[in-house]
A and B are shown apart, each in its own frame.
Chain A
Amino acid sequence: MEHFTPYSSLAGGIVIGLSATLLLLSGRIAGISGIFGGLLPAKSGDILWRALFVAGLVVGAALFPVLGGNLSFLNINPYGFQETSHLILLIVAGLLVGMGTTIGSGCTSGHGICGIGRLSVRSITATIAFMVVAVITVFVVRTATGG
């Protein structure tokens, strides 16, 4: 557990909760797959707030190191795949994440933070389902790659 970061993770989670709170004060749910998916394709009159939110995500993440945050922990290829294999893995993963969040109406933020925040039975069910499958997936990949 040498990488355990309880304080910054808890603080980050609280900031995410505050973000979702702020957005709900304007009537909207901070479900990122839904906000981003609504831009594909974009409908007139429903573009600006979505684009601003997504741009905000990038700005907020960029601000972190600017304000002195340490990003040395960033590890994009945790399984240690060779470059080409990793790129293919990310394409497959991206397709699955896009399809799954669209078909299942939400992701970690929409179901996990906002939906559970509303005690939605659908969101609690979806969160358990994607967590369980993700844990099994990691176990299988770890086993297959001998990690």
Chain B
Amino acid sequence: MRNIIALLSGILFGFGLALSGMVSPGKVIGFLDLTGNWDPSLAFVMGGGLIVTLVSFRLILKRSQPLFGGSFSLPNRKDIDTRLVAGAALFGLGWGLGGLCPGPALSSLAYGNIKIFVFVIAMAVGILIGKAITGGFSKQNETPAPSPS
């Protein structure tokens, strides 16, 4: 059941990214180009997403267990550290250069452009480098200090 949910959620997400326009780097750069010919559309994407999640997450997380089984795997850290901000800054730099973040990049593999494929390979290599730097091969996201394994 949880696997079917993951597939359905992925389909909705990919469709939403296409509908919203976020699969187009032109749209993303247009949003980030505050001093140029600014296109505010992507603020509506984030706004639309947050209208839903700000309400639904609150309701869902009131339960002690997820409706479809398993347990909640949520990040539990609250502290702001250099790693978080430095990583976000690196991501922002890459996002501004290419106009692609992970979701739209993976989704638009559907449109068969070789450049997107190259970007996704580079992103995968970047993830491996990031894990090597942070010692993340032994853990998942957002868990505290990595332990060697």
Contacts and interface: CB of A to CB of B under 8 A. Distances in A.
Contacts of A120: 75, 78
Contacts of A77: 25, 115
B91 A97 contact: yes
Contacts, number: 513
Given A19-B13, A58-B109, A126 B2 contact: no
B26 A74 contact: yes
Contacts of B14: 56-64
Given A78-B30, A113-B46, A105 B13 contact: no
Contacts of B69: 26-27
Contacts of B7: 52-53, 55-56
A96 B70 contact: no
B48 A74 contact: no
Secondary structure call for the A interface: helix
A90 B16 CA distance: 23
Contacts of B93: 96, 100, 133-134, 137
Given A56-B6, A108-B103, A97 B52 contact: no
B107 to A, nearest CB: 4
Interface in A47-75: 48-50, 52-65, 69, 71, 73-75
B21 A60 contact: no
Interface of B: 1-30, 32-42, 44-54, 56-57, 60-61, 65-75, 77-80, 83-103, 105-111, 113, 115-116, 118-131, 133-134, 136-137, 140-142
Given A58-B110, A99-B133, A116-B54, 7 more contacts: A11-B48, A16-B12, A17-B48, A53-B10, A53-B13, A60-B18, A117-B57
Interface of A: 1-6, 8-34, 36-38, 40-41, 48-50, 52-65, 69, 71, 73-79, 86-87, 89-122, 125-127, 129-139, 141-142, 147
